[in-house]
Amino acid sequence: MEWHMTPTTAPSRMAAWLEQAWTVRYLNRGLSGEEVTWFESYVLDKPELLATIESDTRLRDALAAEASARHKDRSVDSDGRQGGAKSAPGIFASGASADLDSPDAQDSPLRSGRGPYKVRESAPPVWLAAAATLVVGLGVGAFVARAFDSGAPAVIASPTRIVYDTMRGPTVPPRVENSSSDSAYVLIEAAVPLGASDVTIELAGQPAQPVSVSADGFATLLVAKKSLLNKLTLHYRLAAAPSSIDLPLPPL
Amino acid sequence: MSVGHQPQPASSDADRDLVSRIASGDRGAETDFVRLFERGVRVLVRRHCRPHDPVVDDLVQDVLSGVLERLRAGAIHDPAALPGYIQSAVVYSTSAEYRRRRPTQSDAAIESMAGGESPSSRFDAAQLAGLLRALLAEMPVERDREILRRFYLEEEDKVSVCRILNIDPGHFHRVMFRARERFRMLLEQAGIQGGTT
């Protein structure tokens, strides 16, 4: 789905979810040049947004440093000394110089929010050669096991899964996977804005329940399919202010 | 992609006040200006520069002093335009820096710049690389590591990464978000805050 960002002319701050959406698009290099210009102007005096961008830049810098250090460790100069390579491919090597030759790079180091550097590795990184160790423990398995007491099967393969990517805006419909599953339960995941606290989920007619947010910023819950007719709302606090997102449940 | 209208950065009464105070010679307002925008300028300059480029500090100074001069001269009339002006100054300064280097410096000279970094810069870089290794070690799924490598090092775009790794584009930002969050936490645990590296 094509997604367009429209800069606001409002003098006040954008809503938290909208700031989040802009930030994600900026970091993922999904903004046009004009949008980048506007967004960078917008964030200039907003420390929390700057911190997110800064963290991403550090990640970029660290990856470059790591690649460079790895290359130096493996390289041998003409005298057989380790780390003697004069042309480390990290930041300033062939990839970077090739990039500098492009007209784009001559005029501006910025291409849709990214810098002029370009790091290229011909050999696969060492860390890629390391075998994957364990399957990511998302905690879903344990969560499911606790949720069932009796009468339900021990394992439900491919249950219906609904993902609310609320960081892309409240109007973006949820993504539904395995909608044909005959499981009595539906796994729901909802993105929570960065920095949100006191996150609770409320199913109409039921008391709100606290939910923990995963490392990737999602709240996960298991809902009986028969309850999906009721309204589901995610509540949280952001910068001490209460906020909520309605999660429209699609018909299954 | 059309955005429909000319973007206007968000402005505030503080910006309005700042512009007029600096134009009238208020030195305290200049201090406020630096306090308000220095971090933002630094973050953007770093973003527009190559990793670990030691010129960042100089460019930050250039941008701040350049904008201050214009403010003192009363050349910026619309306070709402101040953030946009600063952002343009960042882009101009970094572009000019890399344009200036190109005809006068060979690749070897550019490469040798890395060796010219201060010991503290090299230490920071090594520390960041160590943190990165810790981050990568915490990412047990090889595909996640591959995404990071392709996105940050190869500068492949999202569409390309998703196509090559057979990833649902809807999952892309989750992986990136997770990586950034873990990295941020590692930085915090290591006592590295802000943009002072």
A38: domain range?
16-129
Handedness of CA A36, A51, A100, B160 (dihedral sign): negative
Tell me whether strands A185-191 and A209-210 are parallel, antiparallel or unpaired.
unpaired
B35 and B97 assigned to the same domain? yes
Contact B64, B70 (CB under 8 A): no
> What does the pLDDT look like over A1-40, one tens digit per residue?
445 555 554 457 888 888 888 998 899 888 889 999 999 9
> What does the pLDDT look like over A219-248, one tens digit per residue?
888 888 777 777 788 888 877 788 888 887
DSSP A213: B
Question: How many whole angstroms from its chain centre is CA A57?
Answer: 15
In the stretch 107-136 of chain B, residues with CB closer than 8 A to chain A read: 107-108, 110-111, 113-114, 125-126, 128-129, 131-133, 135-136
Task: Identify the H or E element spanning B60.
Answer: helix B56-72
Spatial separation of the C-alpha atoms in residues B178 and A193, rounded to whole Å: 13
Q: How many CB atoms lie within 10 A of CB A184?
A: 14
Q: Which of A41-45, A85-89, B167-171 has the lowest mean pLDDT?
A: A85-89
> What does the pLDDT look like over B113-138, one tens digit per residue?
444 455 555 556 666 677 777 777 76
- The one-letter code for the residue type at B1 is M
Residue A65 lies in a domain: yes
CA-based nearest distance A120→chain B, Å: 6
Angle between helices B56-72 and B82-104 (to 10 degrees): 130
Q: How confident is the model at residue A42 (pLDDT cuts 50, 70, 90)?
A: very high
Extract the tokens encoding B80. Answer: 């709402």
The phi, psi pair for A82, rounded to 5°, reads -70, 145
Q: Which residue, A75, A98, A129, sits at the end of a domain?
A: A129
CATH number of residue B138's parent domain: 1.10.10.10
B71 and B133 assigned to the same domain? no
Which among B140, B23, B108, B83 has a CA at the least distance from the CA of A50? B83
Angle between helices A33-43 and B82-104 (to 10 degrees): 120
Domain count across chain B: 2
Q: Do B51 and A136 touch (CB under 8 A)?
A: no
> What does the pLDDT look like over B140-184, one tens digit per residue?
667 777 787 788 777 788 888 888 888 787 778 777 877 777 777
A66 and A25 assigned to the same domain? yes
DSSP A82: B
CATH number of residue B88's parent domain: 1.10.1740.10
Strand order in the sheet with A232-238: A209-210, A197-203, A232-238, A241-247
Residue B8 lies in a domain: no
The pLDDT value recorded for residue A40 is 96
B133 and B62 assigned to the same domain? no
A and B: number of Cβ contacts within 8 A: 255
B92: domain range?
13-107
Q: Which residue, B75, B107, B139, sits at the end of a domain?
A: B107
Identify the residue with better confidence: B58 or A91: B58
- The one-letter code for the residue type at B39 is R
- Nearby residues of B53 by Cβ (< 8 Å), 6 or more positions away: A91, B113
In the stretch 157-216 of chain A, residues with CB closer than 8 A to chain B read: 163, 165, 167, 175, 215-216
Would you say how long chain B is, in residues?
197
Q: What ipTM describes this predicted complex?
A: 0.73
Tell me whether strands A218-224 and A185-191 are parallel, antiparallel or unpaired.
antiparallel
Extract the tokens encoding A52. Answer: 């997110």
Q: Which residue, A80, A100, A129, sits at the end of a domain?
A: A129
Q: Does A87 touch chain B (CB under 8 A)?
A: yes
Q: How confident is the model at residue B98 (pLDDT cuts 50, 70, 90)?
A: confident
Spatial separation of the C-alpha atoms in residues B154 and A14, rounded to whole Å: 33
A161 and A104 assigned to the same domain? no
User: Between the CA of residue A114 and those of A53, A165, A194, B51, B192, what are the distances in Å?
Assistant: 11, 25, 22, 11, 23
The pLDDT value recorded for residue A116 is 39
- Nearby residues of B10 by Cβ (< 8 Å), 6 or more positions away: A8, A10, A11, A12, A13, A14, A42, B83
Q: Which residue, A129, A154, A175, sits at the end of a domain?
A: A129
Spatial separation of the C-alpha atoms in residues A200 and B185, rounded to whole Å: 23
In the stretch 66-85 of chain A, residues with CB closer than 8 A to chain B read: 66-69
B102 and B47 assigned to the same domain? yes
Q: Do A216 and B145 touch (CB under 8 A)?
A: no
Q: Do B131 and A62 touch (CB under 8 A)?
A: yes
For the cut 60, the answer to whether the pLDDT of residue A105 exceeds it is no
Strand order in the sheet with A185-191: A175-177, A160-164, A185-191, A218-224
Task: Identify the H or E element spanning A163.
Answer: strand A160-164
> What does the pLDDT look like over A124-148, one tens digit per residue?
333 322 222 222 223 333 333 444 4
Spatial separation of the C-alpha atoms in residues B45 and B58, rounded to whole Å: 10
